[in-house]
Amino acid sequence: MHTEPRVALVTGAGGGGTGRAIAVRLAKDSAVVVNDIDHDGGRHTVELIQQAGGQAAYHPADVTSEAEVGALMQFAVDTFGGLDLLVNNAGGTPAPHFPDAPVAHWSRYLDLNLRAPMLCIQYALPHMRRRGGGSVVNISSVAGLGYALHDSPEYAAAKAGLIRLTATLDFLARRDRVRVNCLVPNWIGTPEVFEEIAAMSPEERATVPDRLTPPEEIADAVVGFTEDDQAAGRVLVCWSAEPWRLVPITVRGDR
C-alpha cells in the first residue's frame, strides 16, 4: 500500500445514511472523493468532512455509465494524486420490480447493484496498481443470501452476484496487491429505512429486528477491511440482532 496519505472513493455517499457514514469515517485518515447523483447530498457530505478538518471533494457520476466511471476515477487522481480505497456503496431498488417492471427499469437497478461495482473495480485497478496496491470494499445485502423470497428479485440477484464476485477476486491480492472484500448488512438504521418501517403494517413491522445496525458500525467494518492486509475475497455478514460472521472460505470447485 502507498505510504503517503490514502485517497478513498465512496460511491453513493450523498445520502444521509450508510455512504455518508463511510465517507466521514474514512476521512479521519484519508482524502475522500464523494460520489453521488444527488448534488446537494454529495456537497453536504463534503461539508461535513471539511468541518471536521478532513479533505474531501464531490464528483457527480452515474456509476452505471462506463464513461462517467472512468471520469470519476480520473477525478480522484487529478484532485488528490491517486486512488487507494474504493467502496462500492451505491445501490437501490425502487418499485416496481421484476417481472412486473418494464425491462428498462429493472435493468437499470440490476446494473446499479452489480455491473456498476464491476465497472468501478475495473477502472480503479490501474490507478491502484500505480500506488502499489489498494483495497476495495463492496456493500452487498442479506437479500443476496440463501433462497428466501424477496420483493425485488433483481436486487436480490444482483447482491448475490456481488458476494460471489468478491470471492472470485481474491486473486487480485496476489497479482496486483488489491484486496477485494464484501460487507453483507441486514437492517441498517438509516433515515430511509426508518421511513420504510413507519409505512409498514403492524404485521410487517413485527418482522423487523428490535435493533437496527447504525451506519457508523458498517463504516467501522469498512475500515477494518481496508486495514487488514490479510483479508482478501472475504465476506462479512452483518446481522442486525445477531453476531456478525465471516463466511468460511471453501475449497475451489470444478469448473
Given a cut of 70, the residues of the chain with pLDDT beneath it are 1-3, 250-255
Please compute, for residue 7, the number of CA atoms within 13 A of its CA located in the half-sphere on the CB side. Answer: 23
State pTM to two decimals: 0.94
- Find the DSSP H helices in 90-190: 103-110, 116-130, 153-168, 171-175
Residue 187 is predicted with a pLDDT of 83
3-class DSSP assignment, residue 3: coil
Three-state DSSP string of 185-215? ECCECCHHHHHHHHCCCHHHHCCCCCCCECH
Residue found by looking up cell 455509465 in the block: 65
- Find the DSSP H helices in the chain: 18-26, 39-51, 66-80, 103-110, 116-130, 153-168, 171-175, 191-198, 202-205, 215-227
Strand partners, 4: none
Contact of 179 with 172, CB cutoff 8 Å: yes
Cα 125–Cα 176–Cα 172 angle in degrees, nearest 5: 85
For the chain, the structural domain boundaries read 6-246
Report the candidate in 110, 77, 128, 91 with the shortest Cα–Cα distance to residue 13: 91
Report the candidate in 218, 220, 238 with the shortest Cα–Cα distance to residue 228: 220
Residue 241 is predicted with a pLDDT of 83
Q: Which residues are catalytic?
A: 155
Residue 85 is predicted with a pLDDT of 98
Tens digits of per-residue pLDDT, 172-212? 999 999 999 999 999 888 888 877 888 888 888 888 888 89
Contact of 88 with 117, CB cutoff 8 Å: yes
Mean pLDDT rounded to a whole number for the chain: 94
Question: CATH for 6-246?
Answer: 3.40.50.720
